[in-house]
Chain A
Amino acid sequence: MSQEIIDTVAQYLTPSIPIKLISQGAEAVVFSTAVHPYCPMRETASGNEPTQYIIKYRSPKKYRHPIIDKQLTKHRTLSESRLLAKLFLIEHLNVPKLIATDVYNGYIWLEFLGEDLPNNCGYSNLKNFLWMYANDPYNEQVKNTLFEVGKQIGLLHWNDYCHGDLTTSNIVLAKDDNGIDWVPYLIDFGLGSQSNMVEDKGVDLYVLERAIISTHSSFSGKYNQWLIDGFSSIYKAQGKTGAKKLEEVLKRFADVRMRGRKRTMVG
Protein backbone atom coordinates (compact mmCIF):
# COMPACT_ATOMS: atom_id res chain seq x y z
CA MET A 1 0.00 0.00 0.00
CA SER A 2 1.13 3.47 -0.66
CA GLN A 3 3.48 5.01 1.86
CA GLU A 4 1.69 8.24 1.02
CA ILE A 5 -1.45 7.24 2.92
CA ILE A 6 0.53 6.13 5.97
CA ASP A 7 2.45 9.41 5.92
CA THR A 8 -0.78 11.40 5.73
CA VAL A 9 -2.19 9.58 8.73
CA ALA A 10 1.05 9.86 10.71
CA GLN A 11 1.19 13.58 10.05
CA TYR A 12 -2.43 14.09 11.04
CA LEU A 13 -1.95 12.15 14.27
CA THR A 14 1.48 13.67 15.09
CA PRO A 15 4.39 11.60 16.51
CA SER A 16 2.69 11.38 19.89
CA ILE A 17 0.26 8.81 18.47
CA PRO A 18 2.30 5.88 17.13
CA ILE A 19 0.26 3.61 14.88
CA LYS A 20 0.37 0.07 13.60
CA LEU A 21 -1.22 -0.79 10.27
CA ILE A 22 -3.65 -3.68 10.64
CA SER A 23 -5.73 -3.72 7.51
CA GLN A 24 -6.16 -2.10 4.16
CA GLY A 25 -9.56 -2.61 2.56
CA ALA A 26 -11.03 -1.13 -0.57
CA GLU A 27 -12.80 1.49 1.45
CA ALA A 28 -10.58 2.27 4.42
CA VAL A 29 -7.22 1.77 6.08
CA VAL A 30 -7.29 0.55 9.66
CA PHE A 31 -4.62 1.19 12.31
CA SER A 32 -4.29 0.41 15.99
CA THR A 33 -2.69 2.57 18.66
CA ALA A 34 -2.25 2.56 22.42
CA VAL A 35 -2.96 6.29 22.70
CA HIS A 36 -6.47 7.51 23.46
CA PRO A 37 -7.37 10.65 21.47
CA TYR A 38 -8.62 12.65 24.42
CA CYS A 39 -8.41 10.75 27.71
CA PRO A 40 -4.67 10.77 28.43
CA MET A 41 -5.27 9.41 31.92
CA ARG A 42 -6.65 6.20 30.39
CA GLU A 43 -3.32 4.83 29.24
CA THR A 44 -1.72 4.21 32.57
CA ALA A 45 -4.90 2.92 34.20
CA SER A 46 -4.86 -0.67 35.52
CA GLY A 47 -4.04 -3.87 33.63
CA ASN A 48 -0.75 -5.06 32.23
CA GLU A 49 -1.64 -5.03 28.54
CA PRO A 50 -2.02 -1.49 27.29
CA THR A 51 -5.51 -0.72 26.02
CA GLN A 52 -5.67 -0.46 22.25
CA TYR A 53 -7.77 1.74 20.01
CA ILE A 54 -8.73 1.46 16.37
CA ILE A 55 -8.33 4.28 13.88
CA LYS A 56 -10.27 3.82 10.64
CA TYR A 57 -9.24 6.22 7.89
CA ARG A 58 -10.93 6.81 4.58
CA SER A 59 -8.28 8.29 2.32
CA PRO A 60 -9.02 10.64 -0.59
CA LYS A 61 -9.47 8.74 -3.83
CA LYS A 62 -7.52 10.31 -6.67
CA TYR A 63 -9.95 9.07 -9.32
CA ARG A 64 -12.76 11.16 -7.82
CA HIS A 65 -13.28 14.87 -8.23
CA PRO A 66 -11.80 16.49 -5.06
CA ILE A 67 -15.05 18.17 -4.02
CA ILE A 68 -17.15 15.06 -4.60
CA ASP A 69 -14.48 13.06 -2.83
CA LYS A 70 -14.63 15.24 0.28
CA GLN A 71 -18.41 14.98 0.39
CA LEU A 72 -18.35 11.22 -0.04
CA THR A 73 -15.74 10.77 2.68
CA LYS A 74 -17.75 12.92 5.04
CA HIS A 75 -20.94 11.09 4.19
CA ARG A 76 -19.49 7.61 4.70
CA THR A 77 -17.57 8.45 7.85
CA LEU A 78 -20.67 10.01 9.32
CA SER A 79 -22.97 7.22 8.23
CA GLU A 80 -20.81 4.55 9.87
CA SER A 81 -20.44 6.62 13.05
CA ARG A 82 -24.16 7.31 13.28
CA LEU A 83 -24.98 3.69 12.77
CA LEU A 84 -22.66 2.67 15.61
CA ALA A 85 -24.35 5.21 17.89
CA LYS A 86 -27.81 3.91 17.03
CA LEU A 87 -26.86 0.27 17.33
CA PHE A 88 -25.39 0.82 20.77
CA LEU A 89 -28.87 1.78 21.95
CA ILE A 90 -30.25 -1.63 21.05
CA GLU A 91 -30.22 -3.77 24.14
CA HIS A 92 -27.91 -6.82 23.99
CA LEU A 93 -26.52 -5.88 20.59
CA ASN A 94 -22.71 -5.72 20.64
CA VAL A 95 -20.86 -3.22 18.47
CA PRO A 96 -17.59 -1.36 19.05
CA LYS A 97 -17.75 1.82 21.07
CA LEU A 98 -17.38 5.01 19.06
CA ILE A 99 -14.68 7.16 20.65
CA ALA A 100 -14.34 10.00 18.18
CA THR A 101 -15.12 10.95 14.65
CA ASP A 102 -13.59 13.58 12.38
CA VAL A 103 -15.80 13.67 9.31
CA TYR A 104 -13.78 16.48 7.71
CA ASN A 105 -10.74 14.24 7.37
CA GLY A 106 -12.38 10.82 7.33
CA TYR A 107 -11.29 9.40 10.70
CA ILE A 108 -13.20 7.20 13.12
CA TRP A 109 -11.77 6.10 16.48
CA LEU A 110 -13.16 2.91 18.00
CA GLU A 111 -12.47 0.74 20.97
CA PHE A 112 -10.30 -2.24 20.03
CA LEU A 113 -12.14 -5.55 20.34
CA GLY A 114 -10.84 -9.08 20.45
CA GLU A 115 -7.43 -10.52 21.11
CA ASP A 116 -4.89 -12.99 19.74
CA LEU A 117 -6.15 -16.58 19.86
CA PRO A 118 -3.94 -19.16 21.58
CA ASN A 119 -1.41 -21.26 19.62
CA ASN A 120 -0.85 -18.66 16.92
CA CYS A 121 -4.37 -19.07 15.59
CA GLY A 122 -4.49 -15.38 14.77
CA TYR A 123 -6.81 -12.58 15.72
CA SER A 124 -10.13 -13.58 17.30
CA ASN A 125 -12.56 -13.08 14.46
CA LEU A 126 -15.09 -15.81 13.74
CA LYS A 127 -13.09 -17.12 10.79
CA ASN A 128 -9.93 -17.78 12.83
CA PHE A 129 -11.96 -19.05 15.75
CA LEU A 130 -13.55 -21.75 13.58
CA TRP A 131 -10.15 -22.68 12.17
CA MET A 132 -8.85 -23.05 15.68
CA TYR A 133 -11.47 -25.74 16.29
CA ALA A 134 -10.86 -27.58 13.01
CA ASN A 135 -9.77 -30.70 14.98
CA ASP A 136 -12.75 -30.54 17.28
CA PRO A 137 -15.33 -28.91 15.04
CA TYR A 138 -18.47 -29.74 17.00
CA ASN A 139 -17.14 -28.64 20.37
CA GLU A 140 -19.79 -27.18 22.67
CA GLN A 141 -18.03 -23.82 22.65
CA VAL A 142 -18.29 -23.70 18.86
CA LYS A 143 -21.98 -24.47 18.99
CA ASN A 144 -22.70 -21.89 21.68
CA THR A 145 -20.64 -19.24 19.97
CA LEU A 146 -22.35 -19.70 16.61
CA PHE A 147 -25.74 -19.62 18.31
CA GLU A 148 -24.78 -16.33 19.97
CA VAL A 149 -23.54 -14.95 16.66
CA GLY A 150 -26.90 -15.86 15.13
CA LYS A 151 -28.61 -14.00 17.96
CA GLN A 152 -26.59 -10.86 17.23
CA ILE A 153 -27.68 -10.95 13.58
CA GLY A 154 -31.25 -11.62 14.68
CA LEU A 155 -31.18 -8.57 16.93
CA LEU A 156 -29.76 -6.44 14.15
CA HIS A 157 -32.41 -7.54 11.66
CA TRP A 158 -35.30 -7.55 14.08
CA ASN A 159 -34.53 -3.88 14.76
CA ASP A 160 -34.46 -3.21 11.01
CA TYR A 161 -30.76 -2.71 10.44
CA CYS A 162 -28.62 -4.56 7.93
CA HIS A 163 -24.90 -5.09 7.94
CA GLY A 164 -24.16 -5.15 4.21
CA ASP A 165 -20.89 -7.13 4.43
CA LEU A 166 -21.51 -9.94 6.87
CA THR A 167 -18.38 -12.04 6.51
CA THR A 168 -16.69 -14.17 9.15
CA SER A 169 -13.96 -11.48 9.45
CA ASN A 170 -16.53 -8.89 10.38
CA ILE A 171 -17.66 -10.88 13.39
CA VAL A 172 -15.23 -10.50 16.26
CA LEU A 173 -15.13 -12.50 19.47
CA ALA A 174 -14.10 -10.92 22.73
CA LYS A 175 -13.85 -12.62 26.11
CA ASP A 176 -16.62 -11.63 28.49
CA ASP A 177 -16.02 -10.27 31.99
CA ASN A 178 -15.44 -13.71 33.48
CA GLY A 179 -12.71 -14.27 30.87
CA ILE A 180 -14.12 -17.62 29.78
CA ASP A 181 -16.97 -17.28 27.29
CA TRP A 182 -16.67 -15.61 23.92
CA VAL A 183 -18.99 -12.73 23.22
CA PRO A 184 -19.59 -11.91 19.55
CA TYR A 185 -19.45 -8.33 18.25
CA LEU A 186 -20.41 -7.16 14.78
CA ILE A 187 -17.86 -4.77 13.25
CA ASP A 188 -17.41 -2.78 10.04
CA PHE A 189 -20.70 -1.01 9.39
CA GLY A 190 -19.26 0.81 6.38
CA LEU A 191 -21.95 -0.77 4.21
CA GLY A 192 -24.58 -0.98 6.92
CA SER A 193 -27.95 0.73 6.82
CA GLN A 194 -31.30 1.09 8.45
CA SER A 195 -33.52 -1.18 6.37
CA ASN A 196 -36.73 -3.09 6.79
CA MET A 197 -36.35 -4.83 3.44
CA VAL A 198 -36.40 -8.62 3.61
CA GLU A 199 -34.14 -8.64 0.58
CA ASP A 200 -31.32 -6.89 2.49
CA LYS A 201 -31.74 -9.28 5.39
CA GLY A 202 -31.81 -12.31 3.10
CA VAL A 203 -28.61 -11.12 1.44
CA ASP A 204 -26.88 -10.63 4.81
CA LEU A 205 -27.73 -14.23 5.77
CA TYR A 206 -26.65 -15.53 2.39
CA VAL A 207 -23.31 -13.70 2.48
CA LEU A 208 -22.54 -15.22 5.86
CA GLU A 209 -23.63 -18.68 4.76
CA ARG A 210 -21.31 -18.45 1.75
CA ALA A 211 -18.45 -17.30 3.98
CA ILE A 212 -18.94 -20.32 6.26
CA ILE A 213 -19.19 -22.73 3.33
CA SER A 214 -16.08 -21.40 1.62
CA THR A 215 -13.77 -21.58 4.63
CA HIS A 216 -15.23 -24.39 6.73
CA SER A 217 -16.98 -26.50 4.11
CA SER A 218 -16.93 -29.89 5.88
CA PHE A 219 -18.78 -28.55 8.90
CA SER A 220 -20.79 -25.82 7.25
CA GLY A 221 -24.11 -27.68 7.43
CA LYS A 222 -24.16 -27.76 11.22
CA TYR A 223 -22.49 -24.36 11.57
CA ASN A 224 -25.10 -22.63 9.44
CA GLN A 225 -27.87 -24.44 11.27
CA TRP A 226 -26.59 -23.20 14.65
CA LEU A 227 -26.38 -19.66 13.29
CA ILE A 228 -29.96 -19.82 12.04
CA ASP A 229 -31.11 -21.36 15.33
CA GLY A 230 -29.69 -18.39 17.20
CA PHE A 231 -31.09 -15.96 14.65
CA SER A 232 -34.55 -17.52 14.87
CA SER A 233 -34.56 -17.51 18.68
CA ILE A 234 -34.63 -13.69 18.64
CA TYR A 235 -37.63 -13.57 16.32
CA LYS A 236 -39.45 -16.38 18.11
CA ALA A 237 -39.21 -14.46 21.36
CA GLN A 238 -41.41 -11.81 19.73
CA GLY A 239 -44.62 -13.83 19.56
CA LYS A 240 -46.81 -14.02 16.49
CA THR A 241 -45.34 -10.98 14.72
CA GLY A 242 -41.89 -12.40 15.25
CA ALA A 243 -42.81 -15.80 13.87
CA LYS A 244 -44.38 -14.23 10.80
CA LYS A 245 -41.43 -11.95 10.11
CA LEU A 246 -39.01 -14.83 10.65
CA GLU A 247 -40.82 -16.83 8.01
CA GLU A 248 -40.56 -13.93 5.55
CA VAL A 249 -36.85 -13.47 6.13
CA LEU A 250 -36.04 -17.17 5.91
CA LYS A 251 -38.09 -17.53 2.77
CA ARG A 252 -36.25 -14.65 1.13
CA PHE A 253 -32.95 -16.10 2.34
CA ALA A 254 -33.85 -19.32 0.48
CA ASP A 255 -34.75 -17.29 -2.63
CA VAL A 256 -31.47 -15.40 -2.53
CA ARG A 257 -29.60 -18.69 -2.19
CA MET A 258 -31.52 -20.11 -5.15
CA ARG A 259 -30.67 -17.10 -7.29
CA GLY A 260 -27.05 -17.47 -6.24
CA ARG A 261 -27.02 -21.11 -7.32
CA LYS A 262 -28.56 -20.34 -10.69
CA ARG A 263 -25.94 -17.70 -11.22
CA THR A 264 -23.09 -20.11 -10.51
CA MET A 265 -24.60 -22.77 -12.77
CA VAL A 266 -24.93 -20.37 -15.66
CA GLY A 267 -21.82 -18.52 -15.08
Chain B
Amino acid sequence: MQLPQFPGTNIEILLYENVSNVDAIRSRVVELPYAFIDASAICSVEQIMSAIYRVMIEANYNRLRTKTLHSEILLALSPTSNIGEAFKRFGLKENTKNLFMIQITQDKTSNVDKTLVKGDIIEFKDESIERMSDIETIKKIYKIDQSLHLKNNTQLSRAVVDAIQLRGL
Protein backbone atom coordinates (compact mmCIF):
# COMPACT_ATOMS: atom_id res chain seq x y z
CA MET B 1 0.00 0.00 0.00
CA GLN B 2 0.97 3.67 -0.28
CA LEU B 3 0.36 6.64 1.97
CA PRO B 4 -1.51 9.28 -0.06
CA GLN B 5 1.15 11.90 0.65
CA PHE B 6 4.04 9.61 -0.36
CA PRO B 7 2.93 7.82 -3.53
CA GLY B 8 6.47 6.75 -4.49
CA THR B 9 6.92 4.67 -1.37
CA ASN B 10 5.51 1.18 -1.09
CA ILE B 11 4.59 -0.25 2.29
CA GLU B 12 3.98 -3.94 2.93
CA ILE B 13 2.63 -5.07 6.27
CA LEU B 14 2.21 -8.71 7.21
CA LEU B 15 0.76 -9.87 10.50
CA TYR B 16 1.80 -13.35 11.63
CA GLU B 17 0.27 -15.53 14.30
CA ASN B 18 1.81 -18.58 16.02
CA VAL B 19 5.30 -17.99 14.73
CA SER B 20 7.60 -20.97 15.27
CA ASN B 21 10.97 -19.61 14.11
CA VAL B 22 11.34 -16.40 16.11
CA ASP B 23 14.86 -17.43 17.23
CA ALA B 24 16.09 -17.79 13.66
CA ILE B 25 14.66 -14.41 12.69
CA ARG B 26 15.99 -12.70 15.79
CA SER B 27 19.53 -13.83 15.02
CA ARG B 28 19.35 -12.26 11.55
CA VAL B 29 17.25 -9.22 12.33
CA VAL B 30 20.01 -6.70 11.55
CA GLU B 31 20.67 -7.99 8.04
CA LEU B 32 17.03 -8.53 7.01
CA PRO B 33 15.43 -5.66 5.07
CA TYR B 34 12.28 -5.56 7.21
CA ALA B 35 11.02 -4.18 10.46
CA PHE B 36 9.89 -6.92 12.86
CA ILE B 37 7.59 -5.88 15.65
CA ASP B 38 6.27 -7.89 18.56
CA ALA B 39 2.49 -7.76 18.20
CA SER B 40 1.84 -7.73 21.95
CA ALA B 41 2.99 -4.08 22.08
CA ILE B 42 0.50 -3.02 19.41
CA CYS B 43 -3.18 -2.25 20.00
CA SER B 44 -4.47 -0.99 16.65
CA VAL B 45 -3.93 -0.45 12.94
CA GLU B 46 -3.59 3.27 13.54
CA GLN B 47 -0.74 2.72 16.00
CA ILE B 48 1.34 1.03 13.30
CA MET B 49 0.24 3.37 10.54
CA SER B 50 0.78 6.58 12.52
CA ALA B 51 4.33 5.42 13.32
CA ILE B 52 5.01 4.77 9.64
CA TYR B 53 3.58 8.19 8.79
CA ARG B 54 5.87 9.77 11.38
CA VAL B 55 8.84 7.95 9.80
CA MET B 56 7.93 9.35 6.39
CA ILE B 57 7.63 12.89 7.76
CA GLU B 58 11.00 12.62 9.51
CA ALA B 59 12.63 11.07 6.43
CA ASN B 60 11.32 13.72 4.07
CA TYR B 61 11.37 16.87 6.17
CA ASN B 62 13.84 16.29 8.99
CA ARG B 63 16.30 13.44 9.45
CA LEU B 64 16.46 9.82 10.49
CA ARG B 65 17.98 8.93 13.83
CA THR B 66 18.63 5.29 13.02
CA LYS B 67 20.27 3.55 10.05
CA THR B 68 17.22 2.53 8.03
CA LEU B 69 13.56 3.31 7.56
CA HIS B 70 12.86 -0.07 9.12
CA SER B 71 14.64 0.56 12.39
CA GLU B 72 13.13 4.02 12.34
CA ILE B 73 9.65 2.45 12.60
CA LEU B 74 10.58 0.95 15.96
CA LEU B 75 11.85 4.30 17.18
CA ALA B 76 8.71 6.00 15.87
CA LEU B 77 6.54 3.59 17.86
CA SER B 78 8.34 4.46 21.05
CA PRO B 79 7.28 7.23 23.42
CA THR B 80 10.94 8.07 24.15
CA SER B 81 13.88 8.79 21.85
CA ASN B 82 16.10 6.11 23.35
CA ILE B 83 16.78 3.74 20.46
CA GLY B 84 17.90 0.80 22.60
CA GLU B 85 14.75 1.07 24.65
CA ALA B 86 12.62 1.21 21.50
CA PHE B 87 14.18 -2.00 20.19
CA LYS B 88 13.69 -3.74 23.51
CA ARG B 89 10.05 -2.76 23.76
CA PHE B 90 8.90 -3.23 20.19
CA GLY B 91 11.41 -5.67 18.77
CA LEU B 92 11.16 -9.45 18.80
CA LYS B 93 11.68 -11.21 22.11
CA GLU B 94 12.56 -14.78 22.94
CA ASN B 95 8.92 -15.53 23.70
CA THR B 96 7.36 -13.57 20.83
CA LYS B 97 4.46 -15.52 19.33
CA ASN B 98 2.87 -13.00 17.00
CA LEU B 99 4.63 -10.38 14.94
CA PHE B 100 4.44 -7.72 12.28
CA MET B 101 6.81 -7.86 9.34
CA ILE B 102 7.00 -4.50 7.58
CA GLN B 103 8.81 -3.45 4.46
CA ILE B 104 9.19 0.09 3.14
CA THR B 105 10.65 0.41 -0.36
CA GLN B 106 10.84 2.95 -3.10
CA ASP B 107 9.69 0.46 -5.79
CA LYS B 108 6.14 -0.01 -6.85
CA THR B 109 6.30 -3.78 -6.72
CA SER B 110 6.49 -5.67 -3.50
CA ASN B 111 9.14 -8.30 -3.01
CA VAL B 112 8.44 -9.50 0.49
CA ASP B 113 9.83 -12.94 1.23
CA LYS B 114 6.80 -14.72 2.61
CA THR B 115 8.76 -17.87 3.41
CA LEU B 116 10.94 -16.16 5.98
CA VAL B 117 8.54 -16.24 8.89
CA LYS B 118 7.00 -19.59 9.75
CA GLY B 119 3.53 -18.83 10.99
CA ASP B 120 -0.03 -18.04 9.92
CA ILE B 121 -0.63 -14.81 8.06
CA ILE B 122 -3.75 -13.08 9.32
CA GLU B 123 -5.56 -9.98 8.18
CA PHE B 124 -4.08 -6.63 9.23
CA LYS B 125 -7.12 -5.20 11.02
CA ASP B 126 -8.05 -4.07 14.52
CA GLU B 127 -9.96 -7.21 15.44
CA SER B 128 -6.93 -9.41 14.78
CA ILE B 129 -4.51 -7.04 16.49
CA GLU B 130 -6.62 -6.69 19.62
CA ARG B 131 -6.50 -10.44 20.15
CA MET B 132 -2.72 -10.26 20.39
CA SER B 133 -2.16 -7.10 22.37
CA ASP B 134 -1.05 -7.03 25.96
CA ILE B 135 -2.91 -3.98 27.23
CA GLU B 136 -1.04 -3.76 30.53
CA THR B 137 2.34 -3.74 28.79
CA ILE B 138 1.16 -1.12 26.31
CA LYS B 139 -0.05 1.10 29.13
CA LYS B 140 3.29 0.68 30.85
CA ILE B 141 5.32 1.45 27.73
CA TYR B 142 3.39 4.63 27.05
CA LYS B 143 3.18 5.57 30.73
CA ILE B 144 -0.57 5.70 30.56
CA ASP B 145 -1.75 6.02 34.11
CA GLN B 146 -3.60 2.90 35.27
CA SER B 147 -6.21 5.06 36.96
CA LEU B 148 -6.91 6.81 33.70
CA HIS B 149 -10.36 6.77 32.23
CA LEU B 150 -9.32 5.16 28.94
CA LYS B 151 -12.11 2.65 28.91
CA ASN B 152 -11.75 0.98 25.60
CA ASN B 153 -9.24 0.18 22.94
CA THR B 154 -10.24 3.15 20.80
CA GLN B 155 -9.29 5.53 23.59
CA LEU B 156 -6.09 3.70 24.45
CA SER B 157 -5.13 3.80 20.81
CA ARG B 158 -5.82 7.54 20.65
CA ALA B 159 -3.45 8.20 23.57
CA VAL B 160 -0.82 6.02 21.89
CA VAL B 161 -1.16 7.88 18.57
CA ASP B 162 -0.74 11.19 20.43
CA ALA B 163 2.50 9.92 21.97
CA ILE B 164 3.80 8.71 18.59
CA GLN B 165 3.04 11.99 16.85
CA LEU B 166 4.69 14.06 19.57
CA ARG B 167 7.73 12.01 20.57
CA GLY B 168 10.95 13.96 20.95
CA LEU B 169 9.56 17.22 19.60
A88 close to B158 (CB less than 8 A): yes
In-complex Cβ contact of A38 among B53, B61, B148, B163 (8 A): B53
Number of residues of chain B lying within 8 A (CB) of chain A: 27
Q: Select the stretch in B42-50, B81-89, B103-111 that faces chain A.
A: B42-50
Q: CB-CB contacts of A1-35 with B at 8 A, as 1s and 0s?
A: 00000000000111011000000000000000001
In-complex Cβ contact of A14 among B7, B46, B163 (8 A): B7
Q: CB-CB contacts of A60-87 with B at 8 A, as 1s and 0s?
A: 0000000000000000001001101100
- In the complex, what distance in Å separates the CA atom of A256 from the CA atom of B67? 56
- In the complex, what distance in Å separates the CA atom of A78 from the CA atom of B165? 10
- In the complex, what distance in Å separates the CA atom of A109 from the CA atom of B2? 18
Interface residues of B in 147-169 (CB under 8 A from A): 148-149, 158-159, 161-163, 165-166, 169
- In the complex, what distance in Å separates the CA atom of A89 from the CA atom of B62? 29
Query: Which of B53, B125, B161, B162 has the most C-beta atoms of chain A within 10 angstroms of its own C-beta?
Result: B162
In-complex Cβ contact of A89 among B3, B54, B148, B169 (8 A): B148
- In the complex, what distance in Å separates the CA atom of A97 from the CA atom of B154? 11
Q: CB-CB contacts of A33-56 with B at 8 A, as 1s and 0s?
A: 001011111000000000000000
B45 close to A88 (CB less than 8 A): no
* A105 at the B interface (CB under 8 A): yes
Q: Using known A-B contacts A38-B50, A102-B57, A104-B57, determine if residue A88 contacts B4 with beta carbons closer than 8 Å.
A: no
B52 close to A81 (CB less than 8 A): no
* B32 at the A interface (CB under 8 A): no
- In the complex, what distance in Å separates the CA atom of A97 from the CA atom of B166? 13
A104 close to B5 (CB less than 8 A): no
- In the complex, what distance in Å separates the CA atom of A13 from the CA atom of B65? 24
B159 close to A89 (CB less than 8 A): yes
B165 close to A39 (CB less than 8 A): no
B158 close to A37 (CB less than 8 A): no
Other 15 A-B pairs with CB < 8 A, given A39-B46, A89-B159, A102-B61: A12-B5, A13-B5, A14-B4, A38-B46, A38-B50, A38-B53, A39-B49, A40-B4, A84-B162, A85-B163, A91-B148, A97-B158, A101-B165, A102-B57, A104-B61
Closest 4 CB pairs of A and B: A85-B162, A38-B53, A104-B61, A91-B149
Q: What are 29 sample pairs from A and B whose C-beta atoms fall under 8 A apart?
A: A12-B5, A16-B5, A16-B7, A17-B4, A37-B53, A38-B3, A38-B49, A38-B50, A38-B52, A38-B53, A39-B45, A39-B46, A40-B1, A40-B4, A41-B45, A78-B169, A85-B165, A97-B158, A99-B50, A99-B161, A100-B50, A100-B53, A100-B57, A101-B165, A101-B166, A102-B61, A103-B169, A104-B57, A105-B61
